[in-house]
Structure 1
Amino acid sequence: MHSKELLKGTLQTIILKLLADQGKMYGYEITQRVKELSGGEMLLTEGALYPTLHKLEAEKLLTTEKVTMGKRVRKYYKLTEAGQSSAAEKMDEFTNFIQMMHRVLQIDPAF
């Protein structure tokens, strides 16, 4: 497991990247995809996920669509055009940060 601080600092990037790749997703689907991709090592809580989704929506990086599935209503999140740009920028920024950390911490590039 990783520290909550590391997750908090990367959560927006994770969400934006998932939505860029998947098109649209609902909250539980996001948590399960992160769990799957991390091999069960990264578990997103509702308390971390939904405030971040609401913040991204307020920043006009996401739009929402409610879909009725039987008696349930699912709220799907989808990137806006600005969200697509932001996802690409965040991925570039994160990649550069990882490369810099490798240099600073003198981590073998093959790691």
Structure 2
Amino acid sequence: MTQRSKNKSNFKKGSVEMLLLHLLKTEGDCYGYQLSQLINQRSSGVLVIPEGSMYPTLYKLIDNNFITDYKKTVGKRMTRVYYHLEEAGEKRLEELVEDYLEVTEAIHKIMDFPVEEAKN
């Protein structure tokens, strides 16, 4: 794995919670594979969330009462676990988005800072 890939991986880990909550808010109840596919599709394949990262995050969200889960039978034998966004999860999403925007703005300020001003 290249250094760039490692950095992208670290960034993704911190964003998984926000992305999952956002999708549950905008799409409604979803099952795990569906969530991972939505992230992959909407990011044009840039963000691929492995099950090893996504499910622990979903379980953490359940433990914190941000989402709930329920089973639904699909077809004759298949059962899927769906995830539902709770009110506390909507508040958590607002906090995460606010933090994300604040950090992103700060990064842009650093990246866009005029070199001439930095030398003075």
Letter in 1 for 2:45: G
The answer (yes or no) to whether the contact 1:19–1:79 under 8 Å persists in 2 is yes
Q: Which structure's CA Rg is the greater one?
A: 2
- In structure 1, how many angstroms separate the alpha carbons of the residues matched to 2:26 and 2:106? 25
- TM-score, reference length from structure 2: 0.84
Alpha-carbon shift at residue 105 of structure 1 (Å) = 2.1
% identical equivalent positions: 31
Flag as ranges the 4+ runs of structure 1 deviating above 6 A.
none
Residue ranges of structure 2 left out of the alignment (5+ in a row): 114-120
Letter in 2 for 1:33: L
The structure with the greater share of residues assigned to helix is 2
Matches within 5 A, 1:52-67: 52-67=57-72
1:32 aligns with 2:32: no
> Of the candidates 81, 84, 95, which is equivalent to residue 90 of structure 2?
84
- TM-score, reference length from structure 1: 0.90
The answer (yes or no) to whether the contact 1:17–1:91 under 8 Å persists in 2 is no
Residue ranges of structure 1 left out of the alignment (5+ in a row): none
Alpha-carbon shift at residue 9 of structure 1 (Å) = 1.1
Aligned to 2:103: 97
- In structure 1, how many angstroms separate the alpha carbons of the residues matched to 2:24 and 2:33? 13
SS in structure 2 of the partner of residue 40 of structure 1? coil
Q: Please, what is the CA RMSD of the aligned residues?
A: 1.4
> Aligned pair count?
107
